[in-house]
Amino acid sequence: MLSRAEEDDFLLLASDGLWDVLANQEAISLAMRCMNRAWEKGATRKAAARIAASVLTKAAIDRGSKDNITVVIIDLKTPQPMSSNHEPSSTSYSGPARSA
């Protein structure tokens, strides 16, 4: 178990399809860069997490991951008010499994 710190921005959960081809710190750094760029362009935290999950999935595919890929980014900062459609606060993106 890992203790959570107040300065933590997000939690990155992913299947081995991602972790087989990206190191922990590399995935975290890529996610943070994607989210920062999205925020700079005016994206919400939720949209930024969705973009980062998609980019991480594509990075795993581009690196030749042979397993299914699921990436979930959970925003740990102050939540935004819920939209009228009540979508969940976590964002996930899954890539298709590819045959070897």
- pLDDT confidence tier of residue 95, bands split at 50, 70 and 90: low
Number of domains within the chain: 1
Q: Are 70 and 14 in contact (CB under 8 A)?
A: yes
In a domain, 1, yes or no: no
In a domain, 99, yes or no: no
pLDDT tens for each residue of 61-90: 999 999 999 999 998 886 656 555 545 455
Please tell me the least confidently modeled range out of 8-17, 51-60, 68-77, 89-98.
Answer: 89-98
In a domain, 4, yes or no: no
pLDDT tens for each residue of 24-46: 999 999 999 999 999 999 999 99
In a domain, 84, yes or no: no
In a domain, 47, yes or no: yes
| Model pTM score | 0.76
Neighbour tally for 65: CB within 10 Å: 22
Asked if pLDDT for residue 100 goes beyond 50, the answer is no
In 1-100, at which residue ranges do the beta strands (DSSP E only) sit?
10-14, 69-75, 90-95
In a domain, 20, yes or no: yes
In a domain, 63, yes or no: yes
In a domain, 59, yes or no: yes
- Range of the structural domain that residue 32 is part of: 10-78+89-94
**81 versus 52: which is more confidently predicted?**
52
